[in-house]
Structure 1
C-alpha cells in the first residue's frame, strides 16, 4: 500500500538510490531482514545505524520490529528506522504509534551528469582509497560523534566499489574534503566538509564539481546525495548546482529507557 511519503516520488529512482547507498556508505555490520537492511556502525551516521526499507511498500511485522529493536539495544544504540517513500503504510503507522520520535529529516537530491565534463582542477587531489590523512582531515572538521576518526574509518575503509576520496589543497594545505562512490551509472556524493577558515570562498562548489567530473569519467549518468532539510546553505548550494528534489525522509528513534 502506498504511503503519503511516496506521493510525487519516482519510486524506481528512489529504490535505485537507496540500494546503492548501502554500498556507497557501508556499515561494519549489516543484516538483511525481509525487505529491510539493518545496519550498525557504532552510532556514527544515521544512514549507517538504522533500518531502511529496500522494496516499495516494505512492511515489518510487530515481531520483526521487536527483533530489530533488540538488535540495536544490544549494541547500545537506540532503535532507529529510516522512513523513506519505500516504507509501507502499516509500518509507518506502527513506528509512530510505538513512540519513535524524529531525530532528523533529509532530502534525497539527484542530478543528471549529461552536461558535465570529465575535468578535475589541479588543486583537487583524488585518491582511490581513503588515506589516514583524508580520514583525519574529515574527522577534525566535524563535531560530536562525527569527529571520531576511528568510526569514520570503519565505514569508508569498507567501500569496495570505484571511489574518489577528494582533498582540496591551497598551497599544499588541505582545506576541504569530499567523496564519491560510483555504481552502475550512478555516483553518490558525500562527506563534503570545508575548513571553517576557508568557507565562503566557493571551495565546496568547486570540490563537488570535481567529484561530478570524476563520476562522469567513470561513465556515470547521474549523481545523487542526501542533505539535512534544515541545512539551508547546503541545500541552496546543491540546488544552484542543478541538483533536484527526488524524495524526503525522516529518521526516527525510540529512545533508550533510563
Structure 2
C-alpha cells in the first residue's frame, strides 16, 4: 500500500476542529438547520447567540461559496433576519477571500476555542451542580443581559440537548454569584454560559465555578474539555489558561 502523501494525509488540527464543531452543535443546538453545499445555515429566532444564527462550514464544496452565500442570503431575507457567516478553519480560504473582496473585515471580534485535558479537581462546597435546568439557573444566567424572550428560548435550547448536562451555580454569602453549563459526550465536555454577576466579580467565584464544572465533567468520564471565549477578553483567557486551556483555533463572524 502506498504511503499517504502530504496532500491526502488528514490534518490533525482540522480533525480536532471538526470534532469540536460537531460536539458544540449538539451541545448548543439550533432549532432549525438548512444544509447548503456543505455548510449549515442555522436559525434560532429570538436568540442573540450567533453560533445558532449563522452560516457555518461543515464540509464545504470547493468553488461554491458564492452560490452558497446567495442562497443563504435569500433564506435569511425570507425570515427577515440578518445573514451572518461564521468563519472557522473548516471554511477554508475561499469564503474569507470573497468576503474581503466585498469589503468586509473578517478579523473583528474573534472567538478563541480553547481545549484542555480534564484535570482532577474537587468540587467546591460553594458551587451547586444540577443535572437539569432550573428557573433559578435561567434567571441568574439571563441577568447578564438576556431579555425575557431570550431567557425562555435558552431554556428550550438546553432542553433539546441529548447528552448529560450539568447546570452550575456558585454562591457568595449573599446569594448566587456565577453560573455555567457543561455538556458531556464520548469523553468530551463543552463548557458554556459562564458568567459572573458584576457585583461578584474578582472574588474567586469564576475559578470555583470552573473547578466544579471540570470535576463534574470528569465524573461523567470526560477526558478533554473545550470552551469558547472572546479572544480579546484577557481576564477570562488568563483564568482558563490557569486551568490548562490552550487555543485550538479561532473563528469570527461577518454579518452582511
Partner of 2:141: 138
User: What stretches of structure 2 of length at least 5 have no aligned partner?
Assistant: 1-10
Q: Partners of 1:129 and 1:241 in 2: how far apart?
A: 25
Tell which deviates more after alignment, 132-141 or 85-94: 85-94
Residue pairs, 1:14-53, within 5 angstroms:
14-42=17-45, 43-53=47-57
Q: Partners of 2:73 and 2:25 in 1: how far apart?
A: 20
Q: Secondary structure at the match of 2:206?
A: helix
Q: Taking structure 1 as the reference length, what is the TM-score of the superposition?
A: 0.86
> Which of these two proteins has the greater Rg computed from alpha carbons?
2
Q: Secondary structure at the match of 1:104?
A: coil
Tell which deviates more after alignment, 87-96 or 188-197: 87-96
| CA-to-aligned-CA distance 1:223-246 (integer Å, 9 cap, x gap) | 001111121111111112210011
User: What stretches of structure 1 of length at least 5 have no aligned partner?
Assistant: 1-7
Q: Partners of 1:29 and 1:196 in 2: how far apart?
A: 33
Give yes or no for the alignment of 1:107 onto 2:101.
no
Partner of 2:77: 73
Aligned residue pair count: 244
Q: Secondary structure at the match of 2:24?
A: helix
Q: Partners of 1:126 and 1:180 in 2: how far apart?
A: 10
Q: Partners of 1:23 and 1:59 in 2: how far apart?
A: 28
Partner of 1:197: 199
| CA-to-aligned-CA distance 1:104-141 (integer Å, 9 cap, x gap) | 2111100011x324x32222111222112211111112
Q: Taking structure 2 as the reference length, what is the TM-score of the superposition?
A: 0.87
Over 3 Å counting, the alpha-carbon distance change for 1:9 and 1:146 in structure 2 is: farther
